[in-house]
Amino acid sequence: MTSVDTDVLVVGGGPSGSATALRLASLGHRVTLVEKRATPRHKACGDILTPRAVAELARLGIDPLDPGRGDGRTGGWAGGNGHRIEGVRLIATGREIAEPWPEHPDLPGHAVALRRDVLDESLRERARGAGVTVLMGHEATAPLAERGFARRYATSVAAMLVGLAVIYASGTLWLAYFARLASASAAVGLSTALATGVYPFVLADLAKLVAAAGITPGLWRLIGTR
Ligand SMILES: Cc1cc2nc3c(=O)[nH]c(=O)nc-3n(C[C@H](O)[C@H](O)[C@H](O)COP(=O)(O)OP(=O)(O)OC[C@H]3O[C@@H](n4cnc5c(N)ncnc54)[C@H](O)[C@@H]3O)c2cc1C
């Protein structure tokens, strides 16, 4: 087995993993990105990059309308056949409304449709170009599962609660940051983030957690008897 010396290990070569790896590498960190699939995949996705996603890509120095070299395998932005989307059309109960994207001081006035396999591979190429070590066909194994956390109800619940808390904490701070930009006060930003990103989901997430933690130890026992 080969060992890799790295400052940061990013797990998952989807858009968030590649963007995180790219940003950390451009800040000077030694970054390794592991993606369990050996080759680019087609993922179920509407393939739409909203104006906010287009702005995020611009922050990474990427224009998804840039045709690049189009081969998906060159250094830097490989590009693809992105299509500019000027607005949205809503169709329901026999009515149709067409609207341009809302105007925003920091966001472009257009979205882009780009195939996900092209986006994912091109972002990984960009990350490679920035010095990230990208290991395709490498799966991060689950240290908690390996230590038997998923085999007992109590430890299963505890592990899932910690995971949920991390997701809620990071997501809420992120939402609060954007809500703060649109309002005058940090308190309003935080309460908006809680009202839109936490309260509507917390009950369903806790129910899913209790169900998943109940089922998982049983599945382990089932596998263990084979
Ligand atoms: C039907 C559908 C339509 C959608 N349409 C849109 C849309 O139009 N626009 C939009 O912005 N969003 C859309 N989304 C949401 C969008 O697909 C997700 O928000 C996005 O894929 C999240 O990116 P990610 O990088 O966090 O995760 P993912 O894209 O899921 O990437 C995670 C990566 O991690 C890898 N991985 C997982 N576990 C491991 C491991 N243990 N070790 C190594 N690698 C691992 C996976 O193979 C995968 O490549 C849609 C989603 C669905 C389901």
pLDDT value at residue 96: 95
**218, 153: one domain:** yes
**123, 12: one domain:** yes
Please indicate whether residue 171, judged by its CB atom, sits closer than 6 Å to ligand 1.
Answer: no
Sign, CA torsion 160/163/167/168:
positive
| Final residue of a structural domain among 136, 158, 174 | 136
pLDDT value at residue 75: 46
Tens digit of each residue's pLDDT (9 = 90 or more) over 110-142? 999 998 888 898 899 889 999 999 999 999 887
| Residue 48, domain member (yes or no) | yes
| Residue 3, domain member (yes or no) | no
| Final residue of a structural domain among 136, 154, 187 | 136
* Atom number in ligand 1 closest to CA 142: 41
**26, 130: one domain:** yes
Closest CA to 126 of 64, 218, 52, 175: 64
pLDDT value at residue 164: 93
Pocket perturbation via mutation, ligand 1, pick of 35, 115, 123 by most ligand atoms within 8 A of CB: 35
Tens digit of each residue's pLDDT (9 = 90 or more) over 40-54? 878 888 899 999 999
| Residue 155, domain member (yes or no) | yes
User: CB count, 10 Å around CB of 71?
Assistant: 11
Please indicate whether residue 15, judged by its CB atom, sits closer than 6 Å to ligand 1.
Answer: yes
**Residue ranges for the chain with pLDDT beneath 70:** 1, 68-80, 225-226
* Helices 153-182 + 186-197 axis angle, to 10: 130
| Final residue of a structural domain among 136, 164, 199 | 136
Please indicate whether residue 62, judged by its CB atom, sits closer than 6 Å to ligand 1.
Answer: no
* Atom number in ligand 1 closest to CA 138: 43
Phi, psi of 15 (to 5 degrees): -55, -40
Please indicate whether residue 167, judged by its CB atom, sits closer than 6 Å to ligand 1.
Answer: no
What region does 72 belong to: left with phi over 0, alpha with psi -120 to 50, or beta? left
pLDDT value at residue 122: 87
Contact present, 62 and 77 (Cβ < 8 Å) = yes
**122, 219: one domain:** no
Per-residue CA distances from 121 to 32, 73, 162, 206 (Å)? 16, 8, 31, 35
**18, 121: one domain:** yes
| Residue 75, domain member (yes or no) | yes
| Residue 156, domain member (yes or no) | yes
Q: Which residue puts its alpha carbon closest to atom 10 of ligand 1?
A: 48
Full residue range of the structural domain in which residue 159 is found: 143-224
